[in-house]
């Protein structure tokens, strides 16, 4: 029989070695929703990401709106806003830049080997990633979708991609 156990107790009994591993970086391009920003922070904390960059030349978000969704993750990881002129200098040179986007060409996530040292990029909720940014990425990956709706929330897309990255590097 299976019994529910609170997540802190469960993961305390089943730890993963987070300290000796390299972890992905997340770069979000001009997100407009504080709840999406909070969701990305919470996910980054869940998945052990080392850094989250929110690229926006004029961020206008109130911390309380982000904290509401991020909860304790708000203070648990390294994250900040940066402008479009200096985000790249905040990513180590040995990291591969991978866009999560429907672009030409774009590669199926499940047929792509994801480098251990990767910075994943997601774009604005309405217009995606800027073409100039896509040109800086080593490649673009997409998530195969079987349903009618072919659009996905940025935090949902990151969840799937980070789950696959974790599977490839931890299991």
Task: Summarize pLDDT for 34-49 with one digit per residue, the tens.
Answer: 888 888 998 988 888 8
Distance CA 40, CA 162 (A): 11
In the block, residue with structure tokens 């980070």: 162
pLDDT of residue 162: 96
**Is residue 129 included in any domain, yes or no?**
yes
Domain presence at residue 16: no
CATH number at residue 61: 3.40.1280.10
Extract the tokens encoding 140: 């673009």
Q: What is the pLDDT of residues 65-103, one digit of tens each?
A: 777 776 766 778 888 889 888 899 999 999 999 999 999
Q: Which of 71, 95, 123, 87 is nearest to 23 (CA)?
A: 95
pLDDT recorded at residue 5? 82
Q: How many domains does the chain have?
A: 1
pLDDT of residue 15: 62
**∠ CA 138-139-145, rounded to 5°:** 160
26: in domain? yes
Name the residue range of residue 117's domain: 21-142+149-170
* 157-168 average pLDDT score: 96
Question: pTM of the prediction?
Answer: 0.88
User: pLDDT tens across 121-140, in order?
Assistant: 999 888 999 899 999 999 99
Average pLDDT score over residue span 2-26:
75
Where are the strands (E) in the chain, listed by range?
25-29, 51-55, 78-82, 96-100, 107-108, 118-122, 139-142
Residue 113 pLDDT level (bands cut at 50, 70, 90):
very high
20 pLDDT above the threshold of 80: no
| Whether residue 14 has pLDDT greater than 70 | no
pLDDT at residue 53 is higher than 90 = yes
Helix (H) or strand (E) holding 64: helix 63-70
90 within some domain: yes
Domain-embedded: residue 71: yes
Residue 63 lies in a domain: yes
Predicted pLDDT at 166: 92
Per-residue pLDDT, 149: 84
User: 171 vs 111, which has greater pLDDT?
Assistant: 111
Distance, in Å, from the CA atom of 27 to the CA atom of 1, rounded to the nearest integer, reads: 42
| Contact between residue 36 and residue 155 where contact means Cβ atoms under 8 Å apart | yes
Q: Tell whether 136 is covered by a domain.
A: yes
The pair of structure tokens assigned to 115 is 């480098």
């Amino acid at each position: 029989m299976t019994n529910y156990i609170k997540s802190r107790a469960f993961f305390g009994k089943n730890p993963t070695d987070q300290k000796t591993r390299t972890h992905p970086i997340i770069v979000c391009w001009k997100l407009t929703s504080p709840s999406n920003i909070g969701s990305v922070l919470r996910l980054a904390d869940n998945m052990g990401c080392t850094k989250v960059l929110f690229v926006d030349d004029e961020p206008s978000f109130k911390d309380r709106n982000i904290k509401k969704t991020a909860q304790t993750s708000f203070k648990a990881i390294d994250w900040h806003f940066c402008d479009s002129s200096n985000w790249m200098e905040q990513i180590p040179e040995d990291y591969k830049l991978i866009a999560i986007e429907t672009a030409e060409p774009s590669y199926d996530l499940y047929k792509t080997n994801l480098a251990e040292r990767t910075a994943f990029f997601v774009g604005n909720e309405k217009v995606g990633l800027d073409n100039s940014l896509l040109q800086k990425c080593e490649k673009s990956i997409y998530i195969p979708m079987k349903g009618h709706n072919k659009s996905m929330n940025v935090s949902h897309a990151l969840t799937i991609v980070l789950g696959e990255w974790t599977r490839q590097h931890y299991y």
